[in-house]
Structure 1
Amino acid sequence: LYQLKITALTIHSNMVYYFNVLKLSEITLFLFCLFIFSIPEAHGQNYLWPLNIESKLSSQFGDYRDGHWHAGIDITTRGKTGYKVYAVTDGYIYRIRTSFWGYGKALYLKLSDGCIAVYGHLTRFSPSIEKVIRQQQMNKKNYYQDIFLTANEFVVKKGDYIALTGQTGSGAPHLHFEIRDRYNFPLNPLKHYYRFTDNHPPIVEYLVVKRYHKYGSGNYHDIEFLRLDGQNPELFVKDTVAVYGQSLFAVSAYDPNNGYNYSINSGRMSLDGDEIFSFEHDRLDYSIGEQIDYVCDLELKKLVEKQNGIALDKDKNIFYRLYIQPHDKQWFYNQYSYPAGIIDSDSLEPGPHSLKISLSDVNGNECHVNLYIKKADFEIPVVRDICISNDSLRLYMGAFPVSLEPQIQRRQAPHLPYQYIYSDFDLFERTLTFPMSDNDYDYRIRIKGEYLSPWMVFKPGLKSPSVTPYVDYFELCFPIEEDLLINDQRVTYQNKDIFPLGNGFYKALIPVPVENGILELKLGENQIGNDYFIYSKSGSAYSPDSTVMIDFSEKDLFGPTLIAITELKPDNGDGYTFDIIPEDLLFNDEVEITILPEKLDLNTAYFSLYYYSSQKSKWYFIGNRNQNHISGQTRGGGKFGILIDRTPPVISKLKPKNGSIIKNRKPRLSCVITDDLSGFKNETQFEMTIDGIWVPAYYDIDNEIFFYKVMYPLKPGRHILRVRATDNQGNKATAISRFTVLGKY
C-alpha cells in the first residue's frame, strides 16, 4: 500500500481538509470526488454541478423556443450519452417522467431547501429508479409515465448518482437542467447558483422603430430599421430619429460565448437619463410562457427571414420589444407595466431628446446604443403628383415654407436601413428630382429645417389595386378616378389624406368605420382583397363560402383584432388550402377552427386539418378526429390545409431480420418507423411485443428509430418480434420478424 501525508488542501468551496496517513483507496476516492465537484468553467454557490465533466452550455435560461422560453440550461456532453448525473444537494426524488417528446426521460428532485432540480433528456435512471418506472410501464403497457413519489421513497444525498445523460425527447446529446423555486417557478441557475466565465458583451443586429398614429396591436403606420454606427459594445444612430403619435423601439441582439449564441438576459431604456423601461430574465412562469411570440416581436423576425430567404437562429435573431403591451403578463419587467417604454410624442418638449438602450448578459457584460429622437411637428409633405421616367422620379410638391427643404431616402429591402439619395429641388417649379433604381424597394420623403416632419413612405409604379389592413385603418393603393366603398358606403377624403404613386394610382389611409363586425372594400363594382372581420369582443370569422369558421372569445384577443380567411384553393386534387391573415396574427389562447366537410364533399375518415411551417417546409397535423366535422386549434395566422392521408406508416429495417439466427440473448431490437403526412403525437401510437409480451420500446423522434434493449436473456429457440404503428389519421401498419436465438434448450 502507498502512503501519503497531506497537511492541508483547499477546494473552491473554501473547505479545508486535514489528512494523516491514508490508504491508496481512500486517496483515490477523495481525488475522484474532488474531480467531480471541481468544474473549471463553473462553480456552485450552494449546489454541486450535476456532471463530472468539463462543460459548456449550448442554451441558457430564457432562450427562445417555439411556444415558450427555455426554462433551464442545456449542458453539452461532448456529443455522447451515458455520463453519470448527480444530485446537486440533499433531497428526494418526487417525480419521474418518461416520454418520446419534451424532456424525454426526466427526474425531479425536491431539494432540502424547498427548491426543485429537474434533469431532462436522460438515457437511463439509476437501477432502483429504473426498476420502478419499468414496472409501471409494463403494468400500464404505455411508455409514457408521470409518477409522483413521497418523501421517503427515494431519498438522495448530495453527490449521489441518479441517472445517465442521454438525448431522449429531442436534440443532440445533452443534459437539460433546471432549478425551480418551491412554487415550481423556474429560476435562472446562472443568476442564483452557478457562474460561467464570459467576457463577451452582447451584439446588436438590428434596431427598429415603429410609429403609430394611435398605439394598437398591429396598427403601426410605418416600420424603420435604423442604421447603426460605431463598434460593439458602443453603438449609435447618427441621424435624429423622428417620432410622432406613439413610437416604440425593438432590438435584435444576442450573447455570443464558447461558439454558441444565447439570448439577452436583461435590458433597459432611458429617455433623457431617466429609465422608462427594463426587463430581466430571472424567473419564469410556465402558465404564461405561450405568450412568447406576443412578448417578442414575431412580425419583425418573420420579415427578416422572408427577406433573407432562410430561417434565422432562434436565439440570435429574436426581436426584444423595449416596451410593454396590453395583456402582457410576464414577471420580468421589474416595477413596470403597460404602457412603459411607449414614447408618446405629445408629451415631448420641442427639440432633441437622448435615448439610451443598454443590453446585458447574465454575467453583467453590457452593450449600448445611443440615439436622439425629436418630435415630428410639421404636416406630412404634400406631393401633388409623381412623374416616372426610365431612371428617375420627379415629385411635384405642394407649398411649404421657403426656409425648409425636402429630404428623400430609399431602401432596398424592408429590413434594411434607409439611405439618403442625391436629389435636385427646384424651388420655383416646386419639383424634386432624384434617380430611381430597379433595386429600390420603396422611398420616403419629409420636410426638414427648424422643424421635422413625419416621413411619408411610398412605392411608385403600381399597376393594380392593393390593400394592407390594420386594426383601425386600411392602407389602400388605387386609381383615384374610381369610387372607393366600404360596406357599400362611398369613402370621401381630402387631398392631405392621399399620396400620388404615379400611373394614376394613389395611396390613402382610410379609417375603419366599425369596432365589431365585417368589412368589405370595393373599387366601383369590384371587391379588393378579402372580407375582413374586426373584433374586440367574442365573435366568429368565416371564409367567403362559410366553409371555414373560427370561434373566439374576448379573452382570446390581445385587444382589437383584424382577421380574414381566404377562399379555399384545391391542393393537387388531394384537399384544400387556405390562409388566416394577417400571417403574424396572434391569439392569447388556442382558438377553434371548424371545417364543414359536407360543403366540400370530404370524407372525415381520411381528411384532417394541418398547419404549414414555412421555416421547415412541412405540414403539421393539428386536427381532431370527429365523424361530423373537421376541426383543430391554432394560436395565430398562417397557411392551413384540409388534406387527405390514406397512407399508413412505413415500418422498415427490422432487427433482428426476419429469418435471422443470432447468438446474443440480450439483443437490441429495432426498426425505422416513418409517416409521410399526419405523423404521430403520443406514445400509444407505437407498440412492440416479443412473443406476444409488450415491452417499453422507445421512439427516437429525430432519427425515427423505434428500439428496445432486451434486459433479461431470451431463451434459446424461435421468437417473434411484432411492431405496430398508427398515425394521427388512424392509418395502421404492422411488421413481423421471426428470428432464432442459438443456445441450449
Structure 2
Amino acid sequence: MKYLILLFFITFYSFGQEYPKDYFISPLDIPLDVSGAFGELRSNHFHAGLDLKTKGVEGLPVYAVADGYVSRIKISTWGYGKAIYITHPNGYTSVYGHLQSANGKIEETIRKRHYDEKSFEIELFLKPSELPVKQGEVIAFSGNSGGSGGPHLHFEIRDTKTEMIINPLLFGFDKLVVDKYRPKVNSIMVYPLNDTIAINNDFLAQTIPLSVNNEGNYVTPKITSNGAIGFSMNVFDNMTNPYNKNGIYKVSTFVNGVPYFSYKFDTFSFDESKHINYFIDYYRFKNMGQRFQKMFIDNDYPLSVVNKNKRDGILKVQPAASYTYKIVVEDFSQNTSVIEIPVVYKKSESSPTEITNSLKKIKAKNEYIFEEDICTITFPANTFYEDFKMKMSVKDEVLYLHEDEIPVKNSFSLSFDISKLSDELKKKSFIAYLDGKDIDYVKSYVKGDKITAKVKKLGNYKVVQDTIAPRIYAVDFSEGKTIDTYTTITAKISDNLSGIDSYKAYLNGNWILMEYDYKTKKLVHTLSDNIYVKGKNDFKLVVTDEMNNSTTFESYFYKNN
C-alpha cells in the first residue's frame, strides 16, 4: 500500500504538475556549468539535484533563489556537509549543499548552536520568523564540505509537503543551463532473459558494436534471438561543457515504431533512490566499473521512473518475425541521439551448457536462515530483487557470502559465534566487510557469545578486533609557541580499523569548535571564536574510535593579541 500511494503521488507530479518557470533566480552569479545532473547514476543512489561548478575555488557567494525562510540547517561530516534549506511560500524548498560557511545571522546561528551542543555535527529546524531571507540575499559561500569531490554547489528543489525531489530544470533553470551537445552512447548490451535463449547463437549477455551513419545516428549489426531479450546502455550527456560526463534526462524505446518503454528524471523520492542498483546492470558495474542502465524490467520493483510504463520493455522475439528496436536518448534541451538495432528470430543451433554444482538456490520472495560453521545468515523475505544461485562458505573464520555482484533490496543480518574470545576482546570486536585489503567497519552488536550486524551487500565478512587507539598528528604549533599571527589552529586525526567515532577539543578547559574534513583528516579551529585568552592557552584534544579506544593530546601555546 505504501508503494501504491507513493506511485500515485509521483505519477501526479510527473504528469499533472505545472512548475513556476520565473519564480527562482540562479543561486550563483556566474554562468551555470553543470558537473552533475538530476537523476545521475551515483554509488547506491540517484543524484538529487544539480552540481554547479564554482570555477575550482571555494568562497563564491551563494544567493537565496527566492524569498522565504531558513527552515533547516544541517552540518555533517558526510553527505551534503554544510547545508542550508530555505522554504518558500510557493510550496517548494531549495537546498544548498557542500557550503564553506553561511553568511551573517545564519552563520551566527550556526556558530551558537555548535557551542550550545558542543558538537560539530548539528541539525536545526527553524520557525518562519527566525531567519527570513529575501531573493538575492547572500546566504552562504560555496565550498567543498562533506562528501564532495571538489569545490562546487549542490542545488536542489523539493516539494515542501511531500519531500519529493524535483529536477531544477523544470523551474526555468534550463534557460541558464546552455546545453548544445547530444547525449553520447558508449555501448549497448543485450541480455537473454532465461537459460534457453540465445543471442547470435550465444547464451550469454553481450555488447553490440556501434557505428554512426551519415545522419549522425547510431546503428548496429543485425542480432538474432529465439526468445525474450532486454537491452541496456552506457551513456552520458555533456550538458554545459564538452568535458562533462553527466547523467541523461530521458530514454524512450520503440519496437517497429510503436512506443515500448521509457523513463525520464523529473522527480523521485529519497526512498526510491536505493533501487539504483537494480536499475543498472549491477553485475557489470561491480566487475567492470561500468554503469549500464537497463531499458527493461524483468522483476517489478518500486522505482517510479520506470513503473509508469504499461510494458516491461522486454522484446519477445517470435518465429518468422523481424523488428527494429529503436532507442531515443534525449536531454532536457531536446538534443537527441538515436540508436537503431535490427532484430530477427533465429532458432539456436546449440544448447545451453548445464552446470551442476552445490550453489544454493535463492528465491527472492522467500525467507532463509543458513547456518555455516560459526556464522548464521538470515535473509528476510524480499531481501533480493530476483532469484539467483548463491555460493557460500566459511574458511579461516571468514564468511565468503557469494560476491558483491547481486543487488540487495533490503538489509539482512549476519551473526558470528565469538565464544572463543575473552570478555575484553568481545568489547573490542566488530563485523567487518573485507574489500580486498581494506577492512570496512560495520555497526555491530554483542550479546553473550554472539555478535550481529545488519548489512546491505553480499561479499566477505569477518569478526575483527580493534584495540589500537586513534592517532593525533600534524598539530600546527609546537608546545610553548607564540602564535600571534595564526588565525586557526589545526591537527590531523586518523584510525586504522574501526574509524573515528568522536573527538572533543578544549582551550583552557572550555570546549571549542574544530571542524572536521574526513577527506584531508584535518581538524580546524578558528581563533576568531574568541575562546582563547591573552597569554598562555592550554590545548587538549581527545579522539575516540568506534571501539571506544581513545587518544588524548595536550599542549599549550601563547597568544598575546
- Name the TM tier (shorter chain): 0.7 to 0.9
Q: How does 1:202-213 map to 2 (within 5 A)?
A: 202-213=183-194
8 Å Cα contact 2:365-2:382 kept in structure 1: no
Secondary structure of 2:551's aligned partner: strand
Establish whether residue 508 from structure 1 lines up as the match of residue 492 from structure 2.
no
| SS, match of residue 432 in structure 2 | strand
- Aligned partner of 1:558 in structure 2 is 385
State the 1:86 CA deviation: 0.9
Within the candidate set 310, 333, 341, 2:306 is matched to: 333
Q: Distance in 1 between matches of 2:447 and 2:505?
A: 29
Q: Does 1:366 align with 2:336?
A: yes
SS across alignment from 1:556: coil
The reply to whether residue 578 of structure 1 matches residue 399 of structure 2 is yes
Q: 2:432 — aligned with what?
A: 610
Q: Which residue of 1 aligns with 2:154?
A: 176
The whole-number CA distance in structure 1 between the counterparts of 2:31 and 2:92 is 25
User: What is the deviation of 1:741?
Assistant: 1.5
1:247 aligns with 2:229: yes
What aligned pairs does 1:283-302 form with structure 2 within 5 A after superposition? 283-302=267-286
Q: 1:536 aligns to what?
A: 365
Q: Distance in 2 between matches of 1:156 and 1:659?
A: 45
**Aligned residue in 1 for 2:489:** 669
1-structure distance, mates of 2:362, 2:173: 51
Aligned partner of 2:434: which letter? Y
User: In the alignment, residue 565 of structure 1 is paired with which amino acid?
Assistant: M
User: Post-superposition shift, 1:287?
Assistant: 1.1
- Corresponding residue of 1:715: 533
SS in 2 for 1:589: coil
Code of the residue aligned with 1:598 in structure 2: it is S
Match of 1:223 among 205, 223, 233: 205
Instruction: In structure 2, give the amino acid aligned to 1:235.
Output: Y
Residues 270, 277 of structure 1: 8 Å contact kept: yes
Name whichever of 65-74 and 604-613 sits farther off. Answer: 604-613
Post-superposition offset of 1:623: 3.0
Instruction: Name the residue aligned to 2:172.
Output: 193
Q: Any idea what the Cα deviations from partners look like across 1:55-92, whole Å, max 9, x if unmatched?
A: 42221111122221110111111222111111111111
Q: CA deviation at 1:718?
A: 1.0
Cα shift at 1:535 = 5.7
Match of residue 97, structure 1, among 66, 71, 74 = 74
Question: Which of the numbers 234, 254, 265 marks the counterpart of 2:217?
Answer: 234
Judging changes above 3 Å, is the alpha-carbon distance between structure 1 residues 158 and 548 closer, same or farther for their aligned structure 2 residues?
A: same
Q: Cα deviation per residue 1:332-377 (whole Å; 9 max; x = unaligned)?
A: 237315x5101223xx35232111111122221111111111223x
Counterpart check, 1:643 vs 2:461: no
TM-score where L is the length of structure 1: 0.67
Is the 2:75–2:83 Cα contact (8 Å) retained in structure 1? yes
- The alpha-carbon deviation at position 530 of structure 1 amounts to 5.5
Amino acid at match of 1:631: T
Deviation of 1:299 after TM superposition, in Å, equals 1.0
User: 3-state DSSP class of the match of 2:99?
Assistant: strand
Aligned twin of 1:737: 555
What amino acid does structure 1 have at the position aligned with 2:210? L
Q: 1-side partners of 2:216 and 2:428: how far apart?
A: 56
Query: For residues 245 and 142 of structure 2, what CA distance do their matches in structure 1 show?
Result: 23
Distance 1:279 1:533 in 2: 30
C-alpha displacement of 1:582:
4.3
Separation (CA, whole Å) in 2 of partners of 1:730 and 1:624: 13
Distance in 1, matches of 2:473 and 2:233, equals 48
TM-score (norm 2): 0.88
Higher mean displacement: 161-170 or 623-632: 623-632
- Judged with a 3 Å threshold, the aligned counterparts in structure 2 of structure 1 residues 605 and 252 are, in CA distance, closer, same or farther, namely same
Q: Aligned residue for 1:631?
A: 452
Aligned partner of residue 136 in structure 2, secondary structure:
coil
Q: Deviations over 1:531-584 (max 9, x none)?
A: 5655631121333x2x12221221323243443322223xxxxxx433211431
Give me the whole-angstrom Cα distance separating, in 1, the residues matched to 2:447 and 2:542: 24
Aligned to 1:592, which of 398, 413, 425? Answer: 413
Match of 1:318 among 277, 280, 291: 291
State the structure with bigger RCO (CA 8 A, min sep 6), 1 or 2: 2
Give the AA of the match of 1:508: E
Alpha-carbon distance, 1:151 to partner: 1.4
- Deviation per residue, 1:301-321 (Å, 9 max, x gap): 234x2xxxxxx4xxxx42110
CA contact (8 A) 2:69 2:129 kept: yes
Tell me how far apart the structure 2 counterparts of residues 379 and 162 of structure 1 sit (CA, whole Å). Answer: 65
Mapped partners of 1:604, 1:532: distance in 2? 34
8 Å CA contact 2:217–2:337 kept in 1: the answer is yes
Structure 1 partner of 2:474: 653
Question: Which amino acid in 1 is paired with 2:442?
Answer: I
Q: 1:327, 1:622 → 2: CA distance?
A: 30
SS in 2 for 1:588: coil
Query: 2:360·2:389 contact (CA, 8 Å) conserved in 1?
Result: no
Over residues 659-712 of structure 1, what are the superposed CA-to-partner deviations in whole Å (9 max), with x where a residue is unaligned? 211224x731210101112213x5xx1111111111221110100001110224
Residue matched to 2:62: 85
| Stretch of structure 1 that moved more, 205-214 or 80-89 | 205-214
Q: Which amino acid aligns with 1:589?
A: N
Cα distance in 2 for partners of 1:208, 1:711 equals 58
The count of corresponding residues between Structure 1 and Structure 2 is: 528
Q: Distance in 1 between matches of 2:300 and 2:26?
A: 38
- Provide the rounded CA distance (Å) in 2 between the counterparts of 1:577 and 1:604: 17
| CA distance in structure 2 between the partners assigned to 1:367 and 1:69 by the alignment | 22
Partner of 1:264: 248
Paired residues of 2:364 and 2:382 also in contact (CA < 8 A): no
Contact 1:359–1:368 at 8 Å: present in 2 too? yes
Query: What CA deviation, in whole Å up to 9, does each residue of 1:204-230 have, x standing for no partner?
Result: 1221111123799xxx95211111222
Alpha-carbon distance, 1:185 to partner: 1.0
Identity rate, percent: 23
On the 8 A contact 1:264/1:360 being kept in 2, the answer is: yes
* Counterpart AA for 2:550: K
- Relative to structure 1, the CA distance from residue 233 to residue 610 in structure 2 (aligned partners, 3 Å threshold; closer, same or farther) is farther
Instruction: Select the residue among 691, 704, 713 that pairs with 2:508.
Output: 691
**Larger deviation: 654-663 or 207-216?**
207-216
Is the CA contact (8 Å cut-off) linking 1:623 and 1:630 kept in structure 2? no
Per-residue CA deviation, residues 612-637 of structure 1 (Å, 9 max, x unaligned), is 345xx632211314253322222221
The corresponding residue for 1:388 is: none
Residues 1:342 and 2:314 aligned together: yes
Structure 1 stretch displaced more, 143-152 or 229-238? 229-238
Between the aligned partners of 1:335 and 1:114, the Cα distance in structure 2 is: 25
- Measured in 2, the distance between the counterparts of 1:265 and 1:170 equals 24
Change (3 A) 1:601 1:380: farther
Any conservation in 2 of the 1:720–1:738 contact (CA below 8 Å)? Answer: yes
The answer as to whether partners of 1:541 and 1:565 remain within 8 angstroms in 2 is no
In the alignment, is the contact (CA less than 8 A) between 1:94 and 1:148 conserved in 2?
yes
Moved more, 625-634 or 694-703: 625-634
SS, match of residue 268 in structure 2 = coil
Unaligned runs of 5+ in 2: 1-20
Corresponding residue SS for 1:654: coil
Cα–Cα, structure 1 residues 599 and 248, in superposed 2: closer, same or farther, change >3 Å? farther
Choose which of 340, 345, 348 in structure 2 pairs with 1:375: 345
Question: Aligned equivalents of 2:393 and 2:282: distance in 1?
Answer: 22
- The letter for the 1-side match of 2:100 is T
1:434-445 to 2 correspondences below 5 Å: none
* 8 Å Cα contact 1:212/1:244 also seen in 2: no
C-alpha contact 2:282 2:406 (8 A) present in aligned 1 = no
Residue identity in the other structure for 2:312? A
